[in-house]
Structure 1
Amino acid sequence: MPELLEEFLPRLPELQMTQNRLQRLVKTACKRQRGLMLLMEDVHNEHNLAAISRSCDAFGVQQVAFTLENPDHFNPSRIPQVTARGAAKWLDYRIFTDGTTNALQTLHSEGWHLLATSLHPGARPLHTVDFTQYEKLVLMVGNEHAGLSPAALEHADQSIYIPMQGFTQSFNVSVAAALCLYEITRQRNASPVDFRISLEDARSLVEDFLQR
């Protein structure tokens, strides 16, 4: 990070920001994770959209995707209202409006490993999966009421669940997303493999941050 900060310091007068502000932008960019994306399918509640986006920012997940499977559950026009403010505005978004199947086929073709959150038989407890074996990992969370669609589960490479000890079967989608991202990030941080984005990508991201 120090060398990247030094590159941008001469531009402080034209950027019209304090050195502390610039340092924070550079530090955040350098801590973003590579090869990790969160995908929301038909998540429609604005509070959940915002909370999940905040968790992505907090855990260094730059890439967030939305897919539309059921128009009755999800209105994509809500997305700009949420993503234009707060921590969410610092993330990059992909919006797939041609159905979950097409979206996941596209991600598969790009080399992403698709990880579904599900209570269906065959799903593994969150903490038993080694997430560091995947260079490109998509965590998929579903609609608040219906969960992930059959199409999403069919195209998933793997399913996980969060073990519970009470009467409740599942967490709110935003809480579940945060817990899963925490475990994935914890494993990546403990790994000898460096899962941070490259210096070149961090430089480009800082330039992008400066325009937001």
Structure 2
Amino acid sequence: MIDKELLNLFESYLTDKRKTLYKKVIADRTCHFTVVLEDISQPHNASAVLRTCDIFGVQDLHTVENKYINRISKYVAKGSQKWITSKRYKSDGNNTRICFDNLREEGYQIIATSPHNDSCLLKDFDISKKTAFVFGEETEGISDFVKENADGFLNIPMVGFTESLNISVAAAIILQDVTTKLRMSDIDWQLSKEEKEELYFDWLKNSIKNSDVIEENFTNLNF
């Protein structure tokens, strides 16, 4: 439960223009789609996908770290890491399984991006279901675990000699396509009222210097 007095205190540090912008952006955020990055080795790739999620309004990003530590390039991310909810899976030998279990508990189907034989073409993808799109390691692609446990596969049609796209490019193409279709649909894709309030509070807090100290002082004064 968000303390309204604390929220008002945080709001007092920002201009009306900034607060209005936050609410406008949050209105276009969605958790209907989410992204999973499995063992991305290059920080610029992970950062570019993070930035893409922000651009197309996908709020949650899941990073699986079985072999590689997920690192962010501030130069590439352009500050987008402040606005996206990142969830890291790095505590177990099979973090992919843990990630998938959590996503399925939240009602997501798992769709791996791969030129698999039974892949669904992007233009034919059904956007009605909550979906987690999985992107694999740059050279090897998705792991065997993902291949064996995904609910389906998604393929971006290509007609050139090159057989694959950089993951950040693939993510941009997919997210632009599915989020555009989503916003034109009758699907209830927006965040709930409670989710919007929580995200707004988090963004306020993250925008204020020494917000933890401000919150601690507020708590001590109101204890």
Question: TM-score, normalised to structure 2's length?
Answer: 0.81
Identify the residue that residue 188 of structure 2 maps to in structure 1.
Answer: 194
- Which amino acid in structure 2 is aligned with residue 20 of structure 1? K
Distance 1:199 1:105 in 2: 26
Distance 2:133 2:10 in 1: 40
Structure 1 counterpart SS, 2:190: coil
Which residues of structure 2 form unaligned runs of 5+? 207-223
Identify the residue that residue 216 of structure 2 maps to in structure 1.
Answer: none
- Which amino acid in structure 1 is aligned with residue 83 of structure 2? W
Does the 8 A contact of 2:38 with 2:134 survive in 1?
Answer: yes
Which residues of structure 1 form unaligned runs of 5+? 1-6
Structure 2 counterpart SS, 1:127: helix
Matching residue within 21, 24, 40 for 1:24: 21
Q: How many residue pairs are counted as aligned between the two chains? A: 199
Distance 1:163 1:127 in 2: 9
Say what the alpha-carbon RMSD is for the aligned residues: 2.5
Structure 1 residue 155 corresponds to structure 2 residue 152:
no
Does the 8 A contact of 2:39 with 2:64 survive in 1?
Answer: yes
Does the 8 A contact of 2:47 with 2:72 survive in 1?
Answer: no
Alpha-carbon distance, 1:35 to partner: 2.5
Q: After superposition, what is the alpha-carbon deviation per residue over 1:184-204, rounded to whole angstroms, capped at 9, x for unaligned?
A: 101211111231112332122
Does the 8 A contact of 2:11 with 2:204 survive in 1?
Answer: no
Identify the residue that residue 105 of structure 1 maps to in structure 2.
Answer: 101
Identify the residue that residue 206 of structure 1 maps to in structure 2.
Answer: 200
Alpha-carbon distance, 1:81 to partner: 6.8
Alpha-carbon distance, 1:29 to partner: 1.2
Matching residue within 177, 180, 204 for 1:183: 177
Structure 1 counterpart SS, 2:14: coil
Distance 2:49 2:145 in 1: 22
Does the 8 A contact of 1:34 with 1:197 survive in 2?
Answer: yes
Structure 2 counterpart SS, 1:107: helix
Does the 8 A contact of 1:12 with 1:19 survive in 2?
Answer: no
Does the 8 A contact of 1:39 with 1:67 survive in 2?
Answer: yes
- Which amino acid in structure 2 is aligned with residue 90 of structure 1? W
Structure 1 residue 61 corresponds to structure 2 residue 58:
yes
Alpha-carbon distance, 1:176 to partner: 0.2
- Which amino acid in structure 1 is aligned with residue 85 of structure 2? D
The 5-angstrom pairing of residues 30-49 of structure 1 reads 30-49=27-46
Does the 8 A contact of 2:44 with 2:76 survive in 1?
Answer: no
Identify the residue that residue 80 of structure 2 maps to in structure 1.
Answer: 87
Distance 1:12 1:28 in 2: 21
Moved over 6 A (4+): 80-85
Alpha-carbon distance, 1:64 to partner: 0.5
Structure 2 counterpart SS, 1:116: strand
